[in-house]
Each structure stands twice: as structure tokens, then as C-alpha cells.
């Protein structure tokens, strides 16, 4: 009996120690001390090879670094060695979510809940985090599970904070602030909660309050590294470079200078801070230390492109775009097993387009659509790219695919029509501009272009096909002609000339008074035009002769 009591006490103490270790791992991850969290998770597994939490959090450290294959390995190992532990089931479910296997994910989450021995709050929280952090996030499901976590343990401030995270993702900033504030009241010395409150102000555009709050956090909690990053972003966006540089140095000091930490710094500088100059420098340093870090080319492609896009010297920018394109090629060559995002293909495409490698650009834009079919604006990017490169048939092809997949816009038909005009396929150009007129009947330039197209169509038969379109154009432009720019006035003169010629030459008998009225309007707009004055004289003579 005594041995049994001692064994029970040992179990309780062990459980307490392990729970404390998990809390420490969670805090390290919150502090972005991923190397420390990874080390502690390994130690937890070493002490107890059947501790599912150890495998789960070891997987989480790799998931944080976007190494999904490594994360999946540890989640599955936890499942094999600790099948009754909820956490590994949650990890496996998250990987299923990333793959778009939502039903498999729900089954894994259901199994996790069935293995809960006491209160299910923590498991609901882990499931909520999976839905929120997955590459295929489901914010509604995250809200549902975080709410269940909070309601199952209303004394734990962490669950209020996590619910706040999901509410921010749902753009419910006021509700998020309420939950963060409640969490902060329960845990006044938690800088993570205070930082998230500051972020809500930043998201609401109240940057001065966000900056003030973050400055207070780094002053009160000098070892809380994420706050330095957020404050650095604000300083950098406001061009307060002298204030920002020491913050970044402090952040690096806190999270470490090992290769993993430096790699995460590159991601932050590129994706969050948008400090592309430093991102390039740091990425090249990482590659110098470890040439196998192929993921650095992902961020180099991004950073180089954005650097080039901000440059005014086109030749210098071209060199930088070439660096971006080279980096994209190296990323895809070296990281064949790594998960690819739409941004990877998009930066590959944008750099190729800048260097006039249009087919390479189009192929990568199509990859974006394969990954996210909702990104229909990519067809616009392809179409405009070919249009600007004067490859009009391929521009038409891109826009034609787009209008088959989504509701067409006035702009789609505008580019199709213009491309067909250049290709001298006037019948199809007219069909496209008919749609422009239907979708935007008050767009005067659309009627003018339709008139030009019909002038080209109207060859030997002299049907005056352009007449109704010039008349509509004038109906829309004449009321504001005095305020119009010279381009519009030039087009109006063309319309007057066409209609004047129509009434003088294209009908029998001629309507000289109407013809004269149009040429006199031209003379008002262009009084120095001698040929117009001559035409007016000739029409008047014809009118006198007729009388």
C-alpha cells in the first residue's frame, strides 16, 4: 500500500513537472526562442519517450520554421509512441488541413478530444490554433474552438488571448480588444497580451498609440523579443532608422545568432518589416554560413524584386530584377520538397515579366491560379503583361480565359477590343467594344473607339457604320467640352469631321446646312485650320449654287 501511495505521488509530481515544462515550451515559442523550445521539447521526450506533448511541441518548432515535413514526422512519431495523447492527433490534423483534407483533419481532432482525460480546454485551444495557423486557415472553426477552450476554463487568461487572436483574424477588432483586456486583467505581467493589444491599435490605424504601447512594453519587459520586432516595423515604416537599428540588434541578441534564428530574421525583414536591403544582406550571410539553406532564395527573390521595383534607374533596376529571377530559379531547384506558396510563383513571374521573359512569367502566374483558383486577377496580370509587350494575341487569349471563368468587366473587353484593333480583326474588336458600351454606357471613349472600329469595317460599301457611335460620343462629351482636355477635343473634331462629311457627301440629297454646322464647330475648336476654312467656303458655295 505504501509503495502504491508513493507511486501515485511520483505520478502526480511527474505530471506537474511535465505540465510546467510544456508551459515553459509555450512561453519560449511565444518569445520566439524556437531553438530553446526545440531543445526543451527534446529533453522532455528524453525523460519520457511516451510523452505526446513533447513530440507535438517539437513538431510545432519545425512548423514555425515552415518545415512541414519535419513537423509531420514528429507529430506522427508522437502518434505512434503516445497514441492516447491528444496533442499528436491535433498535429496530424493540422497537416491534413494544410493538404486540404478537412475531413481527415476533423477526424484527427475528434480523436484528440476522445483521449482527453480531464478538462478539454487545452485540446480545444490546440485545435483552434491549428485552424488559425494552417496554410488553409478556417477562422470560423478557430473561433468556435477557442470559444470552447475559454468556456471550459474561464480562469485561464491564455484562452481569452487566443480567442482574441482569432477575432483579429476575423477583423472583429473591438471584440478582440475586449478578450485581450480581460486576459491582461487576469495576467498583468504577460507582455504577449499587451503586445497583442498594441497590434489591435496598429491594425485600426492608430499607430501612435500602438507605438507608445510597444515602447512601454520593451521598457518594462526588456527580454520579450517579439515586441522589438513590432516596434522595429513601426520605426522602419516611419523612416526612423536610427531608432530602429538598435531594436533589431537587441532582438537578435535575445533570440540568438544561430543559423535558424538568422533564417527567421530574414523572413521577418522581408515579410513583415519590408526592410529589403537588410533582408538581402542577412540572407546572403546565412547562405555564406550554410549554402544548403535553400529557403533563403525564397526571401531573396522577394526582397530583390521589391528593391528593384522601388528604383528609378531602369538599367540598375534590371540588374536587381535579374537577381530576383535567379533567386527564384535557385529556390525551385534546391527546395523541391519544400511547400510552395502563391508568392513564390508570383515573384518568379513578376521578375520574369520585368525582364520580358513573358512565357516564363505566364507559366508561373498560371501556377498561382493552380494553387488558388480565386486569384482571378492573375489573368489580368497575364493579359496586361502580354498587352504591354505588344503580344496582342496572347493578351486576348488570357482575357478570354478570364471571362469564361468569372463575371467579365468593362476593362476585360477594353483590352480585348484594343488588342483585336491592333491585330486588325475589326469584327471581333467591334464585338468586344459592344460589351464595353453595354457595361459602361456613359464611357464616352468607348463610343469613340467603337466609331473608329466601324470606320475600319466600313470599306467599299460606304454604309456610314460609324455615324451612330460618333453621335453618341458627342452626346456624352459636348455638355462638358469647354472643360475637356486637348485629347478629347481632338477626338470631338474627328467626330465633327466624319458627320460633316456624311451630311455633305454620303447622302443624297446632301444636307449642306447640317454639314456646315459641324465644320463650323471644328473651326471654333481649331481656328487656324486652313483646310476647314476652305471646306466651309466650298459648302457655302454649294448651298448658293443649290439656291
For residue range 37-66, what is the model confidence (pLDDT) as tens digits? 999 999 999 999 999 999 999 999 999 988
With cut-offs at 50, 70 and 90, classify the pLDDT of residue 19: low
Residue 397, all three cell numbers: 487569349
Inter-residue contact 206 to 173 (CB < 8 Å): no
Which domains occur in the chain, in start order?
Answer: 442-547 (1.25.40.10)
Could you tell me how far CA 449 lies from the centroid of its own chain? 35
Least confident range from 272-281, 282-291, 460-469: namely 460-469
With cut-offs at 50, 70 and 90, classify the pLDDT of residue 6: very low
Predicted model pTM: 0.73
With cut-offs at 50, 70 and 90, classify the pLDDT of residue 547: low
User: ω into residue 509 within 30 of 0, thus cis?
Assistant: yes
pLDDT, position 63: 94
Write out pLDDT tens, residues 407-436. 999 999 999 999 999 999 999 999 999 999
Inter-residue contact 361 to 350 (CB < 8 Å): yes
User: Is residue 14 over pLDDT 50?
Assistant: no
Question: Quick one: what percent of the chain has pLDDT higher than 70?
Answer: 96
With cut-offs at 50, 70 and 90, classify the pLDDT of residue 113: very high
Alpha helix ranges (H) inside 238-356: 241-255, 259-267, 276-289, 296-309, 314-334, 342-354
pLDDT, position 437: 98
DSSP tag of 483: G
> What mean pLDDT value characterizes the chain?
92
**Residue tagged 515553459 (cell numbers):** 24
Amino acid at each position: 500500500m505504501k509503495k502504491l501511495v508513493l507511486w501515485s505521488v511520483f505520478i502526480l509530481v511527474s505530471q506537474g513537472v511535465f505540465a510546467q515544462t510544456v508551459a515553459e515550451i509555450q512561453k519560449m515559442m511565444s518569445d520566439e526562442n524556437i531553438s530553446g523550445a526545440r531543445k526543451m521539447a527534446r529533453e522532455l521526450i528524453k525523460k519520457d519517450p511516451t510523452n505526446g506533448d513533447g513530440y507535438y511541441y517539437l513538431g510545432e518548432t519545425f512548423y514555425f520554421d515552415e518545415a512541414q515535413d519535419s513537423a509531420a514526422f514528429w507529430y506522427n512519431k508522437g502518434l505512434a509512441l503516445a497514441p492516447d495523447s491528444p496533442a499528436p492527433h491535433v498535429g496530424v490534423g493540422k497537416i491534413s488541413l494544410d493538404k486540404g483534407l478537412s475531413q481527415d483533419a476533423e477526424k484527427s481532432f475528434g480523436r484528440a478530444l476522445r483521449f482527453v482525460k480531464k478538462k478539454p480546454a487545452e485540446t480545444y485551444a490546440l485545435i483552434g490554433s491549428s485552424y488559425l495557423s494552417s496554410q488553409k486557415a478556417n477562422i470560423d472553426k478557430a473561433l468556435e474552438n477557442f470559444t470552447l477552450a475559454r468556456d471550459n476554463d474561464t480562469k485561464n487568461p491564455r484562452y481569452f488571448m487566443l480567442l482574441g487572436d482569432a477575432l483579429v483574424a476575423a477583423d472583429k477588432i473591438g471584440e478582440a480588444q475586449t478578450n485581450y483586456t480581460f486576459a491582461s486583467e487576469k495576467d498583468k505581467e504577460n507582455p504577449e497580451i499587451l503586445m497583442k493589444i498594441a497590434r489591435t491599435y496598429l491594425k485600426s490605424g492608430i499607430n501612435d498609440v500602438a507605438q507608445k504601447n510597444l515602447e512601454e512594453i520593451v521598457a518594462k519587459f526588456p527580454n520579450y523579443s517579439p515586441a522589438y520586432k513590432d516596434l522595429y516595423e513601426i520605426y522602419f515604416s516611419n523612416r526612423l532608422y536610427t531608432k530602429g537599428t538598435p531594436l533589431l540588434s537587441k532582438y537578435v541578441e535575445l533570440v540568438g545568432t544561430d543559423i535558424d534564428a538568422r533564417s527567421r530574421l530574414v523572413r521577418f525583414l522581408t515579410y513583415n518589416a519590408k526592410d529589403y536591403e537588410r533582408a538581402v544582406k542577412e540572407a546572403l550571410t546565412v547562405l555564406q554560413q550554410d549554402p544548403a539553406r535553400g529557403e533563403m532564395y525564397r526571401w531573396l527573390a522577394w526582397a530583390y524584386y521589391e528593391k528593384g521595383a522601388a528604383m528609378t534607374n531602369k538599367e540598375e533596376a534590371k540588374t536587381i530584377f535579374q537577381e530576383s529571377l535567379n533567386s527564384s530559379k535557385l529556390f525551385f531547384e534546391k527546395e523541391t520538397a519544400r511547400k510552395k506558396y502563391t508568392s513564390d510563383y508570383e515573384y518568379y513571374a513578376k521578375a520574369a515579366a520585368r525582364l520580358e521573359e513573358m512565357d516564363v512569367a505566364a507559366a508561373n502566374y498560371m501556377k498561382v491560379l493552380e494553387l488558388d483558383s480565386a486569384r482571378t486577377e492573375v489573368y489580368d496580370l497575364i493579359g496586361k503583361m502580354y498587352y504591354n509587350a505588344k503580344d496582342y494575341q496572347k493578351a486576348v487569349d488570357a482575357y478570354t480565359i478570364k471571362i469564361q471563368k468569372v463575371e467579365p468587366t468593362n476593362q476585360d473587353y477594353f483590352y480585348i477590343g484594343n488588342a483585336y484593333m491592333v491585330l486588325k480583326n475589326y469584327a471581333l474588336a467591334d464585338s468586344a467594344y459592344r460589351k464595353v458600351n453595354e457595361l459602361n454606357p456613359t464611357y464616352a471613349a468607348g463610343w469613340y473607339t467603337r466609331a473608329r472600329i466601324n470606320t475600319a469595317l466600313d470599306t467599299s460599301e460606304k454604309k456610314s457604320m460609324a455615324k451612330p457611335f460618333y453621335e453618341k460620343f458627342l452626346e456624352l462629351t459636348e455638355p462638358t467640352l469647354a472643360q475637356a482636355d486637348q485629347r478629347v477635343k481632338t477626338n470631338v473634331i474627328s467626330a465633327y469631321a466624319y458627320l460633316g462629311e456624311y451630311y455633305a457627301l454620303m447622302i443624297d440629297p446632301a444636307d449642306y446646312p447640317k454639314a456646315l454646322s459641324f465644320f463650323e464647330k471644328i473651326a471654333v475648336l481649331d481656328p487656324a485650320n486652313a483646310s476647314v476654312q476652305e471646306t466651309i467656303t466650298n459648302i457655302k458655295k454649294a448651298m448658293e449654287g443649290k439656291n
